[in-house]
């Protein structure tokens, strides 16, 4: 290799390319070029003895581009060596046989993947139509304070998805937990999640029941709760109904399984920061926007960046002044989450720049460890990070 490098360096007609130039010319990354050098597949013609910097000959671009194509289709490392050797020696028969063998492997792998995924779909269909042996099919009747149920619905309604491709997120999950005598209301649109919990009094005899109530029916139920007093909520297997203030609303539930929200809200403990909600809302309304981003649903949103000051206060920061432990969020989503609680004091729990941001009630109002009210916002990664 040393003699080749020297000859190349002394050859005035040979143009040398830096590793970055070769990466741009071939479609391989710099790290991939280093890997293939170490594997003895594509060697640079010259390596600086002091810095270790690699230089490639301009005539190696063809081999590098070929290598990039083979890399994209997952060609095994051992075959790469043979193909490049055959390419250099114009051994078309060898190269053709290796390409055919790899194509056959890919076809076999695709057939295996189809069979496995088909089996998983069959198991999923069986699970969807299989009623648990312990399920109680009798209607579940709950007596609740109308005002408390209205507040709980307001706390989660904003997080319902409107994506028609995800019908399992197009409503509010009503989940009765008989062990701790709690009704949980949950909604999520992937980017945020809202949970509210209502304790059940002695008049209710709950059994486990979980139904997904479409957004339109949630709104109809909420409209009956403005007069206060008591409300009787009945959860059947395929429908719900509510009686309140002498009126009744009801309808069919969605025939979809809601995601396991308990896994989503099971967060590692983070730093808890008290928040003055009016001050934070005012700061968000006038703060610098850190660019706009298009989400997976095709909508544009503004990014706000938050940080914690040395004295422990939550602040809205600029791009230039953001601290190391900053985190970025969808500004509109954060404002929505702050508005629905109707509280002037909240607690933000920060688990890190890539962990969900949790918005909770203060401990004095919360009353239980896992929180009666909780909103989660997924963080946004800034373009320069």
State mean pLDDT over 182-205.
86
Higher pLDDT, 242 or 201: 242
pLDDT value at residue 299: 54
pLDDT band with cut points at 50, 70 and 90 for residue 288:
low
| pLDDT band at residue 367 using 50, 70 and 90 as cut-offs | very low
**pLDDT per residue as tens digits for the range 52-84:** 899 999 989 999 999 999 988 988 888 888 888
Q: What is the mean pLDDT of residues 335-354?
A: 77
128 or 82: whose pLDDT is higher? 82
Look at residue 160 and tell me whether its pLDDT is greater than 90: yes
Least confident of 23-32, 101-110, 176-185, 334-343: 334-343
By percentage, how much of the chain surpasses pLDDT 90? Answer: 26
Q: Which stretch of 127-141, 167-181, 248-262 has the lowest confidence by average pLDDT?
A: 127-141
Residue 335 belongs to what H/E stretch?
helix 331-340
pLDDT confidence bin for 250, thresholds 50/70/90: very high
pLDDT at 216 over 90: yes
Dihedral angle over CA of 108, 111, 113, 119, nearest 10: -140
Report whether pLDDT(346) > 70: yes
- Return the residue matching tokens 């203060």: 362
How do residues 296-333 score in pLDDT, each as one tens digit?
A: 444 567 887 887 777 777 777 776 666 666 777 788 88
**pLDDT, average across residues 187-206:** 84
Confidence at residue 384, expressed as pLDDT on a 0 to 100 scale:
53
pLDDT top residue among 54 and 227: 54
> Which pLDDT score, from 0 to 100, does residue 165 have?
87
Strands 230-235 and 239-244: antiparallel
Mean pLDDT over the full length of the chain: 81
DSSP 345: E
pLDDT band of 176, cuts 50, 70, 90:
very high
What pLDDT was estimated at residue 3? 35
Bridge-based pairing state of the strands 209-214 and 292-294 = unpaired
pLDDT exceeds 50 at position 166: yes
pLDDT at 129: 63
Sorted by where each starts, the structural domains of the chain and their CATH numbers stand as 2-103 (1.10.1660.10), 140-252 (3.10.150.10), 269-377 (3.70.10.10)
Listing DSSP states for 192-252 in one string gives EEEEEEEE--TT-----EEEEEEHHHHHHHHHTTTT-SEEEEEE-SSEEEEEETTEEEEEE
pLDDT of amino acid 115: 86
Find the radius of gyration of the CA atoms of the chain.
30
SS (H, E, C) 140-200: EEEEEEHHHHHHHHHHHHCCCCCCCCCHHHCEEEEEEECCCCEEEEEEECCCEEEEEEEEC
Q: Is the pTM of this model over 0.95?
A: no
- Average pLDDT of the segment spanning 274-297: 69
What letter would DSSP give residue 322? -
In angstroms, the Cα distances linking 359 to 97, 151, 249, 269, 375 are 60, 16, 31, 13, 5
pLDDT at 365 over 60: no
Best mean pLDDT range from 89-98, 171-180, 221-230, 285-294: 171-180
């Amino acid at each position: 290799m040393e003699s080749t490098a020297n000859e190349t360096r002394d050859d005035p007609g040979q143009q040398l390319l830096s590793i970055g130039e070769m990466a741009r010319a071939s479609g391989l990354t710099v790290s991939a070029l280093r890997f293939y050098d170490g594997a003895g597949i594509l060697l640079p013609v010259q390596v600086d003895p002091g810095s270790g910097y690699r230089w490639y000959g301009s005539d190696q671009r063809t081999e590098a581009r070929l290598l990039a194509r083979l890399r994209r289709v997952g060609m095994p490392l051992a075959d790469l060596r043979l193909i490049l050797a055959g390419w250099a020696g114009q051994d078309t028969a060898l190269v053709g046989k290796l390409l055919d063998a790899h194509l056959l492997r890919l076809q076999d792998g695709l057939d295996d993947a189809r069979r496995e995924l088909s089996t998983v779909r069959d198991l999923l269909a069986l699970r969807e139509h299989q009623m648990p042996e312990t399920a109680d099919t009798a209607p579940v009747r709950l007596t609740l304070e109308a005002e408390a149920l209205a507040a709980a619905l307001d706390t989660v309604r904003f997080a319902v998805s409107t994506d028609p491709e995800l019908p399992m997120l197009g409503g509010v999950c009503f989940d009765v937990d008989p062990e701790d005598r709690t009704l949980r209301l949950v909604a999520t649109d992937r980017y945020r999640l809202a949970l509210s919990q209502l304790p059940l009094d002695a008049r209710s005899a709950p059994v486990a029941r979980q139904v997904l109530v479409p957004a339109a029916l949630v709104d109809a139920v909420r409209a009956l709760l403005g007069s206060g007093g008591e409300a009787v909520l009945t959860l059947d297997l395929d429908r719900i109904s509510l009686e309140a203030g002498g009126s009744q609303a009801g309808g069919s539930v969605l025939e979809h399984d809601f995601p396991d929200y308990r896994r989503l809200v099971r967060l590692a403990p983070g730093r808890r920061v008290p928040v003055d909600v009016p001050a934070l809302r005012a700061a968000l309304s006038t703060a610098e926007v850190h660019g706009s981003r298009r989400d997976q649903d095709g909508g544009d949103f503004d990014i706000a960046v938050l940080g914690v000051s040395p004295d422990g206060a939550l602040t809205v920061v600029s791009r230039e002044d953001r601290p190391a432990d900053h985190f970025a969020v969808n500004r509109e989503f954060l404002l929505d989450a702050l508005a629905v609680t109707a509280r002037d004091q909240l607690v933000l729990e920060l688990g890190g720049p890539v962990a969900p941001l949790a918005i909770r009630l203060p401990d004095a109002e919360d009353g239980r460890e896992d929180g009666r009210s909780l909103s989660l916002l997924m963080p946004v990664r800034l373009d320069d990070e």
